[in-house]
Amino acid sequence: MKRSLPVIDISGTPSQRGRQYGEAVAPQLDAALRYYAEAFGASSGLTWEQVTARAARWLEPVRDYAPHLLEEMQGIADGAGVHLLDVLALNARGEVIYDDSFARMREGRTSGSDGPVEEPAEGCTSFAAYGPASGDGHVWAGQNWDWRAGVADTVVMLRIVQPPKPTVIMQVEAGQIGRQGANSAGIALNANGLGGRFDDAVGLPQTVIRRSVLDQSSITDALDVLNRTRAHIASNALLTCREGFAVDIETTPAGHGWMYPADGLLVHGNHYQAGVPAALAADYRPLSPDSLVRVPRAEEGLRLLREATGPDESRKLIKQAMSDHLGFPESLCTHADPRMPELRHWTTLVSSCVDLTAGDYHVTAGTPCDREYQHLPWNLYDGPHAPN
C-alpha cells in the first residue's frame, strides 16, 4: 500500500501553533536534522553546530519583519525538544546552502569541467490553468516539488488556522513555517528555485516570504509582499487566485521579472523565463538544464485540460501531465539517479493539484506516476475569507 502524507492541524497564538506543530512532527523533525547534518557534512565539511551558527544571521531579520513567525519557530522548537537555531536552520536551509556554495566558488573549492559551479537550485515545475485552459471551468494550480529524496519521510501537510488571517494549507518539510500551498482566500502559491549569484546583503529566507504571501487575503496584498521584501536568494513565485487570474514573479535580490498566462495556462520551472537579470546576463546558464525539458512537456500535457468535462477528469489529466518521463530520471516526474551518491538523490517529493474553485486539495506522497492523489480532509474554504 502506498504511503500517505501526515496531516497536521494547528491553531491558536503563534506560540501555541508552534508548540502543537513541534509536538506533532517531533520524529520527522529529528529525521530532518539528522539528514541535513549528514548532507552538509558530506558537501562542505560543516558540522551541524556550524550550520546553526550560520543560520543565526537570520534571527534579527526575521524578528524585524515577522516577529510572530519567529515566535512560531520557538514554539516548534519547544514542542519538538530542539533548539530555536535548529528550526531556523531548517527554515533557512536553502539560504545556508547558497551562502556555503557561494563561498566555495569564490575560493575555487567546487569545480566542474569549466570551473566553479553552484549547488543545484531546488527543483519544481509549477502551473496555473483556468479560463480557456480549463474545460471544466475550474481554476487549477499545483506543482511537482522536486528536492532531496532523503527528506521524503519528513514532508507533512500542514493546516494553520489563524483568524483573522486566512487559513493556510501547505506541504512543508517538518519544522518549516512556509513553503507552497493555498489559503482560504482562494490564493495559491507555487514556487521554484532559480539560482544565480548576487550580492552579499542578508535578505529574508524563502520560508518566511512564502508564508507571509499565503497569510494575505487578496492577490494584490500577496504581490505586495513579494515586491516589498528582499529575498536572500532568487526564487520564482506563481500566484493563482480563485477569481481566475495568475501572475508569475521571478524574484531576485537584484530585481524582479514577471509573466502572465497564455490562453489561461502558465507553467514555470527552474530557469529564468521572464528574462535573465542584468546581473547574470553576461554568463548565465540554467542551474537545472532539465527545466528546459520539463516546462514545455508540462505545457503540452496540461493543454489537454481544455477537453476535460469535470473535476475528476481534470485531476486525471493533471496527474498524467505531471507524470511525464522524457529525460528520465531528471524528468518532469523526477526519480533518483542511481549514478549519483545517495545523499544527492533527487525525486518528486509531492505532486500537488489544487482546485481553487471547489477548494479541494490533492497531493501525492512521492512521484505521481505510480501513486494516486491523496484528497486532504480539509476544504480550503473552511476558514476566514471563504467565498459567500
pLDDT tens across 251-272, in order?
A: 998 889 999 999 999 999 999 9
Nine cell digits for residue 287: 542551474
Q: Compute φ and ψ for 136, nearest 5 degrees.
A: -90, 0
Spatial CB neighbours of 328, under 8 Å, sequence gap ≥ 6 = 335
Beta bridge partners of 171: 157, 180
CATH entry 3.40.50.1370 includes domain 123-375: no
**Helix (H/G/I), strand (E/B), else coil: 222:** helix
The per-residue pLDDT for 123 is 76
pLDDT grade, residue 56 (50/70/90)? Answer: very high
| Pairwise pLDDT comparison (123 vs 104), residue with the higher score | 123
Task: Name the one residue in this structure whose C-alpha cell is 490562453.
Answer: 263
Q: Confidence class of residue 101 from pLDDT cuts 50, 70 and 90?
A: low
Which residues have CB under 8 Å from 232's CB, separation 6+?
Answer: 58, 92, 95, 98, 202, 203, 204, 205, 206, 253
> Domain coordinates of the chain in residue numbers?
12-110, 123-375
The sheet with strand 140-148 has its strands ordered as 265-268, 123-129, 140-148, 346-355, 360-365, 374-375
Looking at the domain that runs over 12-110, which CATH code has it been given? 1.10.439
pTM value is 0.94
Half-sphere exposure of 253 (CA within 13 A, CB side): 19
- 27, 65, 210, 201 alpha-carbon torsion, rounded to 10°: -100
Residue 114 pLDDT > 90, yes or no? no
pLDDT value for 347: 96
Give the model's pLDDT for residue 196.
85
Among 85, 92, 239, CA closest to 176:
92
The whole-number pLDDT of residue 121 equals 54
Burial readout 356-373 (b: 16 or more C-beta within 10 A, e: otherwise): bbebbbbbbbbbbbebeb
* Rounded Cα–Cα distance for residues 321 and 305 (Å): 10
- For the chain, give percent helix, strand, coil, nearest 5: 40, 25, 40
User: What are the tens digits of pLDDT across the range 302-361?
Assistant: 999 999 999 999 999 999 999 999 999 999 999 999 999 988 899 999 999 999 999 999
